[in-house]
Amino acid sequence: MNKIFCISRQGSISAGRNNYFTHLIRCSKQRNFANTAGKPQRKHHYFGLGLLGIFTGFVTYDGVVNDFIYSGASIRFLRSVKTASLIAIDYFLLERHVDDFDYDLQLKQVHLKSAGRLLETCLLNGGLYIKMGQGVAAINHILPKEYTSTLEKLQDKCLPTTKADVQKVFIKDFGANPEHIYCDFEYTPIAAASLAQVFKAKLKSGEDVAVKVQYGDLQKRFTSDLGTIMFLQDIIEIFFKNYNFGWILRDLRKNLVQELNFENEGQNAERCAKDLEKFKYVHVPSIYWEYTKPRVLTMEWVNGFKVSDVERIQLEKLDLKDVDLKLFNMFAEQIFHTGFVHADPHPGNVYVRKNPKTGQAELVLLDHGLYEFLPESVRLPLCEFWEATVLRDEQRMKSAAQKIGINDHMKFAEVLFQQPIRIHGGRIKTKLSESDIEYIQQVAKKNFELIMGTLKDMPRNMLFVVRNLNTVRAIGRQHGDVVDRPRTMARYAQHCIYVKYNSIRSYMFWFYRRLIFEYNLW
């Protein structure tokens, strides 16, 4: 018994010693682990603080020296990539449900969601992004209405800048704040566009004026923003081989640089006013050169409302048909006669006002920053092509297209008129039905490469003309297509062909051709 107890006691002592030493070893290991692990953790901690310090220093330096140009460009780049990725993922996931009975409804929901993301990104990024969004909104004959109706808000709903930003531009360009230049200056913008905001002011002589002030950082961020857009275009081209618009963006770069110079815009406005002076119903605001700089444009204050405001047109008891006829003739004069073409005639740039004496509608043409010039070598064949297309004279269509440098005359006609062209058994339509629009969208998707090939074949100065035609066509559609735009412009094109020499003989020949033209359309 004692022996057993002794053995048991010795075992307990031994076990206790083992537990004690085990505890010491564990504690020692934990202390050693803590000592060895603590150093790397402190290193990581210091490394993180170092990165944060570098980033903070970069942003601070960029803000003081460059007005946050580089850090802002990085944010816009990441925001754009994020938006593009989310949109791509949504459409990718949607393809898994292509056989669902409610696929069309899901597709419309994705369209609307994606359009909302684009709108938000364009508004936050500003500048060129807004201008691109405005261009997308103008092609409502091809893109889903969820996109075009959403992005239409970009025409006059851009984000305003602060009072300090406006003052910074004036101090740099004039050497003084707006209050010292004008008798009165209202800092709340009356309109905000892609490149600038418009404010109401009063000259010391008493006249009310509209002052267009460019966003202060726009010229500095132009290169980086265009680079981001080109990068996204290149990425899209990798995954979608057919959707390549990079060549268009590269060609537009020169024109966009000109648009950033408001003195150039003032000169364009005066030339436009001279070209259209024969139209008593067209008004171009006068420029006050004493108060104009490359980033600040001061012009005559004009009251009016957007040409797309159908309710206001009717409220003013103006004839919608009269408004459209004047609108189409105004731009037909530029395209077919003068060749000096307004490249951005969206509704925010075309206002309507009522003449107090005659009670008739007058058009006010705004924003003359972007123009294109069509030389006679392109303009006259274009007149011939337009007339021949309306008359469905394929031989003359082909001949006129070749003079311009276009090989596929039928595709060229569809690009200009934005509807299927049938030589036999049909006519150029004034008003397109929903089925016609759906058909156009399907054809555009199916023949996208051919359409892009036609655009590439066109002279580069024709691109803005196509944009002008699309934008004006969209306005006519908003009005219900109450005027036959193709025929109206065809009559104007024909007039420009045969009266260019301004002689009695040319007028007689034009009258003869006009009789034949009207007879064939009767």
Hey, CA dihedral for 383, 387, 390, 393, is it positive or negative? negative
**In which residue are the tokens 């309306």 written?**
390
Hey, CA dihedral for 166, 170, 171, 176, is it positive or negative? negative
CA 476/CA 490 separation, integer angstroms: 16
432, 419 Cβ separation under 8 angstroms = yes
Residue 413: burial class (beta carbons within 10 Å; 0-12, 13-18, 19+):
buried
359, 310 Cβ separation under 8 angstroms = no
CA 252/CA 246 separation, integer angstroms: 10
Question: Is 344 annotated as catalytic?
Answer: yes
Both structure tokens of 185: 């200056």
437, 488 Cβ separation under 8 angstroms = no
Give residues with Cβ within 8 angstroms of 440, minimum separation 6.
141, 142, 418, 419, 420, 432
Selected catalytic residue, list 217, 225, 324, 344: 344
Look at residues 178, 160, 198 and name the one whose alpha carbon lies nearest to residue 348.
198
- Per DSSP, what are the bridge partners of residue 293? 296
The DSSP code for 285 is P
Side-chain half-sphere exposure of 424, counting CA atoms within 13 A: 0
Distances in Å between the alpha carbon of 459 and those of 69, 251, 382, 456? Answer: 36, 11, 11, 8
Active site residues: 344
